[in-house]
Structure 1
Amino acid sequence: MLPGSDGGTEKVTLWLMKGSASDEFIQKFTDSYEQEHPDVDLEVRTQEWTGIGDKVNAVLKGTAPERADVIEVGNTQVAQYVETGGLDELTLEGLRDWGSKDWLQGLADPGSINGAQFGVPWYAANRVVIYHKELFADAGIKTAPKTRQEWLAATQKLDKGKQQGIYLPGQNWYVLAGFIWDEGGELAVEGGGVWTGTLDTEQALAGMDFYKQLHALGDGPDNADEETPPQSEVFSRGQVAQIIAPPGQVAQIEALNPALKGKLGFFPIPGKTADKPGAVLTGGSDLIIPENTRNRRAAVDVITALVSERWQTELARTMSYVPNKTTLAHVVQGNDGATAMTSGAAQGRATPKSPRWAEVEAKNPIKPYMTAVLTGQDPRQAAKTASEAIGKILSSDR
């Protein structure tokens, strides 16, 4: 029983981001939760991503006209909100019940700051290889490549005439990050309170070199990212064998070219060896509790329900997401895109755990670095310039 101040029903407010869960899922979850907790009135409010940072910070500071007891945030945003202040620490309770030992690393790590857990992983999404089955068959490729070298060899076969082996824009730094991690490199590291960009290490340079080899097996632009033009539009024309994207882009591709329906497949981004897929940048969401909530125990109960096997399974199957735990990978069997994504998620990573990383993405010195390398400039010098810019942003005072 969780009585409110008037001895009646207690209101608990949950903020979810637009597009994270379907209306059907939200209604089913709300009805079920209220039935199991008759003294709780659960209100779910959908929020827009645009401008959400200011709204969340206002809630955390207690200056917002509206309140929230549980908030969905991007997994890489947790550090920024911890720095702002006002997040409840969740380290000492719930972690065992929430299955923390099996959490995906790329979701769990950003939610843990200095050994304290502030964000509870909810769901993940990451990139896979989307491929044109007929073009693969025409090239005599019967099985999906599992290593980088197999991938390069297959892509070279596919790159002929007007057909592109792969469409890989020159500034897709999300994909580059995975190649760097596979080599044992990092985007940036922290030591003694000072951040240093590390694109100029041997490992990071090796990751960029592989990116350059793969990029050369198609006609992707040197100086644009995956949205300029949208790679789903390029792929929909039917002359591209592969793109690297979240599986959800298939719906956009098929809408643009219905003739491709049923002709597209998925496989995890290959790794350096066949024993595991390549590393990927894990996107997704964590759940946080404001320190000033008046309903902390109820807020914890809501999170416990959302990350339970029942509702993780429902969410993953409804939205084609990766569940928050490696032990739930089986729940997306039968969904080829989600299955490929789940396999890759086991090698998921997150961006550097700095509250200023968002500023790096906004100014993004990684993109011009990539273009410099792809257009023949000295990789080491370009990497050094980009690394210095990253370090300056991360270590500067606001």
Structure 2
Amino acid sequence: MRRRLLALICVTGSLVSACGMLPGDHGRKTVTVWLMKDSASKEFLDRFTEDFERTHDDLRLDFRIQEWTGIVEKVRTALKTRSADGPDVIEVGNTQVPLYADGGRLVDLTLESMRDWDKEKWLPGLAQPGKDGNKQYGIPWYAANRVVIYRKDLFEQAGITSPPKTRDAWLDDTEKLDSDGNQGIYLAGQDWYTLSGFIWDEGGDLAREKDHEWQGTLDTPAALRGMDFYRRLQALGRGPVDADEQHPPQAGVFAAGKVAQIIAVPGLTQSIVQENPRLKDKLGYFPVPGRTAGRPGTVFTGGSDLVVPQNTDDQFAATTVVGALTDAKWDTELARTMNYVPNKTTLAGAVASEEGVAAMAAGAAHGRATPSTPQWADVEADNPIKEYMTRVLGGADPATEARRASRKITEALAPDLG
């Protein structure tokens, strides 16, 4: 009990230096871990800490919780200048890894990934953005992605006995649901994450790298087919063509009734039920359908990777913590605790009992992420994909608008030579 109390005291940043001098704790190396707010519960971290420090009597953990707001600059500063209490392990958004790997400020964990961590089993949407060329910097921790949240009662009223498994069946069912004053689906016109999945399903990309240069590729035939499917689906509801899913928040629209489906992470149902408790037992989930029944649709995979700064005082200790947090035991425990998708496709069965998480896991097995380049943040800062979608949904020529948007993406992805 006394040892546990001391470990909890050491979590506070102001007492880190003193913790190394506590009786019975001589020689322990403190590993400072930055985690993002709400990524892991305090109860989970307590259980992990107790187990880890029991089996690693030379190490002590110091978890420091960070806010997402302003985190990019805070991490960049930490990577450039090592302070006495700087991080040894950092949780970062999976698509942020290229930002931090740029300039050689992260430890290359390729060897550990291949030798110890079963990298071939990782979710592609977490593993891919964690790479730079052949080097693995970001180690997948957990994932979350969009599924279809639907009204079971409205499906039943429309005579639909089971969720659709192909995109063609999805269109047919949604058309049936789009009647009697109901919206078959509420899909905002600028939900570009959802559009990305349809483009990937057709074999297209948002951008591609050739000869070390990135080019926007919304104007390829495959990408145009993905946009056409989005247009047909979006028309079976009354989502605004000039706004994204947050304006207005789609949870509120769905909670108001008269909407049969939305595309969102399962956790959004908490907000829906809070606004409309009568929907509590009427909601279900299914993976975004794919082109064929045997394979769910490709989806944008969000989530987090763990990275090790090059300026850590003890690379071996930091890597040991990464390995423990992401191993099968604790990654499964985190997924069950927080309703995430585990980091490996082989662990999907661990969350099969939760309908929403199981639907996420099915999609995550075919997940993707945005182009792995530090400049992608510049694309999202003034996102030409949103403007492109609004123009096409408003009746403009898709090919013309796709060429315009692709040029803007290419310009944004050009390296800054200044």
**1:294-309 matched pairs, under 5 angstroms:** 294-309=313-328
Whether the 8 Å contact between 1:61 and 1:85 is mirrored in structure 2 is no
Equivalent of residue 342 in structure 1, options 357, 361, 373 = 361
> Which residue number in structure 2 is paired with residue 114 of structure 1?
133
2:60 aligned partner: 41
- Please say if 1:328 is aligned against 2:343: no
Counterpart among 86, 93, 101 of residue 82 in structure 1: 101
In 1, the alpha carbon distance for the partners of 2:323 and 2:415 equals 38
TM-score after normalising by structure 2: 0.92
- Look up the SS of the partner of 1:50 in the other structure: coil
AA partner of residue 42 (structure 1): L
CA apart distance, 1:27: 1.4
**Secondary structure of 1:266 counterpart:** strand
Q: Which residue of 2 aligns with 1:61?
A: 80
Query: Once the two structures are superposed, what CA deviation does each residue of 1:51-70 show, in whole Å capped at 9, x if it has no partner?
Result: 11111111111255740111
1:96 corresponding residue in structure 2: 115
Counterpart residue identity of residue 307, structure 2: I
Number of the residue aligned with 1:382? 401
Instruction: Give the conservation status (yes or no) of the 8 Å contact 1:94–1:300.
Output: no
How much does 1:349 deviate?
0.5
For residues 77 and 384 of structure 1, what CA distance do their matches in structure 2 show? 27
TM-fit CA distance, 1:396: 4.0
Deviates more, 1:209-218 or 1:64-73: 64-73
Partner of 2:16: none
Q: Is the contact between residue 69 and residue 289 of structure 1 (CA under 8 Å) also seen in structure 2?
A: yes
Query: What letter is aligned with 1:233?
Result: G
Give the aligned partner of residue 255 of structure 1: 274
Which residue of 219, 228, 234 maps to 1:215?
A: 234
Is 1:17 equivalent to 2:36 in the alignment? Answer: yes
Deviant stretches of 4+, over 2 Å: 4-7, 63-66, 93-96
* Letter matched to residue 347 of structure 2: L
Kept in 2, the 8 Å contact 1:58–1:64? The answer is no
Report SS of the residue matched to 1:68: coil
Match 2:170 to one of 118, 134, 151: 151
Matched residues in 2 for 1:64 and 1:187: separation? 39
Alignment deviations for residues 335-354 of structure 1 (CA, whole Å, 9 cap, x no partner): 00000000000110111111
What SS does the aligned partner of 2:274 have?
Answer: helix
Separation in 1 of the partners of 2:113 and 2:243? 44
SS of residue matched to 1:95? helix
Query: How far does residue 94 in structure 1 lie from its aligned partner after superposition?
Result: 4.5
Deviation of residue 82 (structure 1)? 1.1
- Counterpart amino acid of residue 111 in structure 2: L
State whether residues 57 and 84 of structure 1, in contact with CA within 8 Å, keep that contact through their aligned partners in structure 2: no
- State which of 373, 382, 387 in structure 2 corresponds to 1:363: 382
Summarize deviations over 1:8-55 as a string: whole Å, max 9, x none: 111111110011111111111112111211221100000011111111
Q: Give 3-state SS (helix, strand or coil) of 1:214's partner.
A: helix
In the other structure, the counterpart of 2:221 is: 202
Opposite residue 119 of structure 1, the aligned amino acid is G
Aligned residues: 395
TM-score (norm. length: structure 1): 0.97
For residue 334 of structure 2, what is the aligned residue in structure 1? 315
1:267 to 277, 283, 286: 286
Matched, 1:235 2:277: no
CA distance in 1, matches of 2:347, 2:116: 15
Q: For residue 185 of structure 1, give the secondary structure of its aligned residue in structure 2.
A: coil
Paired with 1:295 and 1:266, the residues of 2 have a C-alpha distance of 44
CA distance in 1, matches of 2:347, 2:122: 10
Runs of at least 5 residues in structure 2 that lack an aligned partner in the other structure:
1-19
Name the Cα RMSD after superposition. 1.4
Structure 2 letter corresponding to 1:327: T
